[in-house]
């Protein structure tokens, strides 16, 4: 039996995901030609010029919001705006400012108490990757021939009318798949992973790691990364429906510390968005829910998700509502800011590391890729200030009360008729009860709480300051508005 040891800082993390080309353009950035206008409709091939210096310039903004961990989409040299087509794993893309810009960002982030993890794309490279380009030129005579899965020669890498004659991610010729059975390839990837950890990054988010279908590869990867920094976070992009299947294969303590919790995302869409969902926004994706669910069904799903793994893993999950790969949650919720805020209220009072995809806190919308990758809006006069202030408040509450980060989780009330769901976080003598009214009706609070809180206990709402009372094993108090929630705290 393996002892499961995860980084101690992750349960306390508030992640902020940044798509570098679209977040901020530095005032000191070198002038570039042929950039899209900032804020114009995103395209698959266009660049808007965001860079790592720009992110450093916005650290004060992230501090204001309450962020203490940053996840960056790929930053290595590439010919794509998303940079999943890696040319050189040892070079930070010059359009992002190069290695000096990353050094400055790490220094600035660390000096402000923030961790930084990078996107590791190790399943595939690109046609511009040197070793693959060598095969293009030298064909069967290339010493790098076995770095990839080549079927025959010459390589059919640029035809638009026929499939590539080598293994490529989803058959996309731009993304030749590494042969990770090759010891040279394994060592190359492990060296890259170690290099950037030693450079100062705080972990890796692994792109499509399940496609490297080899436990020994990821076991070796973990050993190397953890030797360089035992507190480095390794999180895998594993898309699973946590009710029907799970990621336990990778979460036994010998591979990943956590996964991107899309199973939780799916449950949140099914409950909070429900019958408002425009299925065209999620159709065919692994986080697409089968159907809407009520509070009781949501409670069951959450309990299933929580019971899947050890407590260490549960508290080390990367919990998200959206990302660069999916339509934004606000758009999925038909731009209902109440639903967005209620879902994030849940996320920030749930075990694991909550994550914000850049701009969600100010009301940025976006349909499926590439529309979900819009430029960050820095004109505060156009922000949804109510939502922004709400994010600041719930982040501050999570950071203030250890109960919301370290405490046990228990569902205590789930009514399918009113669609009200309540759960408790507890640690030592502290109790925090969260009540979510996921309906269009005002809810007069009268819910059975059992003997988890003593009769006569006064509960104070951390959002509004209003008081609630426990009598005869029930909570009584002010009404909760439609699509609103409360966070009630007591100390026994």
Does one domain contain both 340 and 303?
Answer: yes
Domain for residue 173, yes or no?
A: no
- Reply yes or no on whether the pLDDT at 434 is more than 60: yes
Domain limit, last residue, from 377, 400, 423: 400
Q: Which domain holds residue 472?
A: 406-491
- In-domain check, residue 3: no
Residue 324 lies in a domain: yes
Give the pLDDT score at 482: 98
33 catalytic per annotation: no
What's the pLDDT tens digit per position in 72-113? 999 999 999 999 999 999 999 999 999 999 999 999 999 999
Whether residue 390 is found in the same domain as residue 412: no
Q: What is the pLDDT of residues 147-181, one digit of tens each?
A: 999 999 999 999 888 999 999 999 999 999 999 99
Same domain, 307 and 447: no
Same domain for 259 and 381 = yes
Percentage of residues of the chain with pLDDT beyond 70 = 98
Confidence of residue 211 (pLDDT cuts 50, 70, 90): very high
pLDDT digits (tens, 9 = 90+) for 392-417: 999 999 999 999 999 999 999 999 99
Q: What is the pLDDT of residue 492?
A: 56
Q: Is there a domain that residue 243 lies in?
A: yes
Q: Which of 400, 429, 448 is the last residue of a domain?
A: 400
Q: What is the 3-state secondary structure (H, E, C) of the chain?
A: CCCCCCCCCHHHCCEEEECHHHCCCCCCCCCCCCCCCCCCCCCCCCCCCCCHHHHHHCHHHHHHHCCCEEEECCCEEECCCCCCCEEEEEEECHHHCHHHHHHHHHHHHHHCCCEEEEEECCCECCCCCHHHHHHHHHHHHCCCHHHECECCCCCCCCCCCCCCCECEHHHCCCCEEECCCCHHHHHHHHHHHHHHHHHCCCEEEECCHHHCCCHHHHHHHHHHHHHHCCCCEEEECCCCCCCCCCCHHHCCCCCCCEEECHHHHHHHHHHHHHHHCCHHHCCCCCCCCCCCCCHHHHHHHHHHHHHCCCHHHHCCCEECCCCCCCCCHHHHCCCCHHHHHHHHHHHCCCCCEEEEECCHHHCCCCCCCCHHHCCCCCCHHHCCHHHHHHHHHHHHHHHHCCHHHHCEEEEEEEECCCCEEEEEEEECCEEEEEEEECCCCCEEEEEECHHHCCCCCEEEECCCCCEEEEECCEEEEEEECCCEEEEEEEEC
Domain boundary among 400, 422, 444: 400
**Within a domain: 343:** yes
Q: Which CATH number does the domain housing residue 67 bear? A: 3.20.20.80
Has 167 been annotated as catalytic? no
In a domain, residue 129? The reply is no
- Mean per-residue pLDDT of the chain: 96
Check residue 450 and give its pLDDT: 84
The 10s digit of each residue's pLDDT in 276-325 is 999 999 999 999 999 999 999 999 999 999 999 999 999 999 999 999 99
Question: Do 72 and 216 belong together in one domain?
Answer: yes
pLDDT over 80 at 241, yes or no: no
Confidence of residue 240 (pLDDT cuts 50, 70, 90): confident
**Catalytic option among 51, 93, 202, 207:** 207
- Predicted confidence at residue 243, as pLDDT, reads 65
pLDDT at position 1 is 67
Share of the chain above pLDDT 90, in %: 93
Q: Which of 237, 241, 361, 484 is catalytic?
A: 237
Q: Picking from 72-76, 263-267, 414-418, 488-492, which range would have the lowest pLDDT averaged per residue?
A: 488-492
Band of residue 32 on the pLDDT scale cut at 50, 70, 90: confident
Q: Is residue 391 located within the same domain as residue 247?
A: yes
Same domain, residue pair 416 and 280: no
Give the tens place of pLDDT for each residue, 364-403. Answer: 999 999 999 999 999 999 999 999 999 999 999 999 999 9
Does residue 111 sit in the same domain as residue 194? Answer: yes
**Has residue 131 been placed in a domain?**
no
Taking residues 189-194, report their average pLDDT: 98
438 and 311 within one domain: no
Encode pLDDT of 33-83 as tens digits.
899 999 999 999 999 999 999 999 999 999 999 999 999 999 999 999 999
436 lies in the same domain as 356 = no
Residue 150 lies in a domain: no
Instruction: Reply yes or no on whether the pLDDT at 182 is more than 90.
Output: yes
Residue 242 pLDDT > 70: no
| Domain tally, the chain | 2
Find the CATH number of the domain harbouring 429.
Answer: 2.60.40.1180
Residues 380 and 449 in one domain: no
Regarding whether 228 and 346 lie in a shared domain, the answer is: yes
**Rounded average pLDDT over 449-471:** 92
């Amino acid at each position: 039996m393996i002892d499961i040891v995860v980084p101690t800082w992750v349960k306390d993390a508030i992640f902020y995901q940044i798509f570098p080309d679209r977040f901020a353009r530095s005032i000191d950035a070198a002038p570039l030609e042929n950039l899209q206008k900032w804020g114009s409709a995103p395209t698959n091939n266009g660049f808007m010029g965001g860079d790592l210096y720009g992110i450093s310039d916005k650290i004060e903004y992230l501090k204001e919001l309450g962020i203490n961990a940053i996840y960056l989409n790929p930053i290595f040299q590439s010919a794509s705006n998303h940079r999943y087509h890696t040319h050189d794993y040892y070079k930070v893309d010059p359009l992002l400012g190069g290695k000096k810009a990353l050094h400055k960002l790490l220094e600035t982030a660390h000096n402000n108490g923030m961790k930084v993890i990078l996107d590791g794309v190790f399943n595939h490279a690109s046609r511009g990757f040197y070793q693959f380009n060598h095969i293009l030129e030298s064909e069967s005579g290339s010493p790098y021939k076995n770095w990839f899965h080549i079927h025959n020669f010459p390589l059919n890498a640029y035809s638009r009318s026929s499939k590539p004659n080598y293994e490529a991610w989803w058959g996309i010729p731009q993304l030749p798949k590494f042969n990770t059975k090759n010891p040279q390839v394994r060592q190359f990837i492990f060296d890259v992973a170690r290099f950037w950890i030693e450079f100062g990054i705080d972990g890796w988010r692994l792109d499509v790691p399940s496609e490297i279908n080899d436990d020994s590869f990821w076991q070796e990867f973990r050993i190397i990364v953890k030797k360089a920094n035992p507190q480095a976070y390794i999180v895998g992009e594993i898309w699973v429906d946590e009710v029907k299947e799970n990621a336990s294969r990778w979460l036994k303590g010998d591979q990943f510390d956590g996964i991107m919790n899309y199973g939780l995302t799916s449950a949140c869409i099914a409950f909070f968005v429900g019958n408002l969902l425009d299925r065209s926004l999620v159709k065919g994706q692994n986080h697409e829910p089968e159907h809407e669910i009520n509070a009781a069904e949501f409670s069951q799903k959450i309990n299933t998700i929580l019971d899947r793994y050890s407590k260490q893993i549960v508290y080390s999950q990367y919990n998200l509502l959206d990302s660069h790969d999916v339509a934004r949650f606000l758009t999925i919720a038909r731009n209902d800011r109440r639903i967005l805020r209620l879902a994030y209220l849940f996320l920030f009072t749930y075990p694991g590391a909550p994550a914000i995809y850049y701009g969600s806190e100010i009301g940025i919308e976006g349909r499926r890729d590439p529309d979900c990758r819009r430029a960050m809006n820095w004109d505060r006069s156009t922000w949804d200030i109510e939502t922004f202030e709400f994010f600041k408040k719930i982040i501050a509450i999570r950071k203030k009360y250890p109960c919301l980060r370290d405490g046990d989780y228990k569902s205590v009330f789930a009514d399918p008729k009113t669609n009200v769901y309540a759960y408790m976080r507890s640690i030592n003598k502290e109790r925090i009860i969260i009540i979510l009214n996921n309906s269009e009706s005002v809810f007069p609070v009268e819910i059975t709480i059992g003997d988890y809180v003593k009769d006569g206990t006064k509960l104070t709402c951390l959002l509004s300051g209003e008081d609630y009372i426990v009598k005869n094993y029930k909570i009584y108090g002010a009404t909760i508005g439609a699509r609103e929630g409360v966070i009630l705290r007591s100390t026994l």
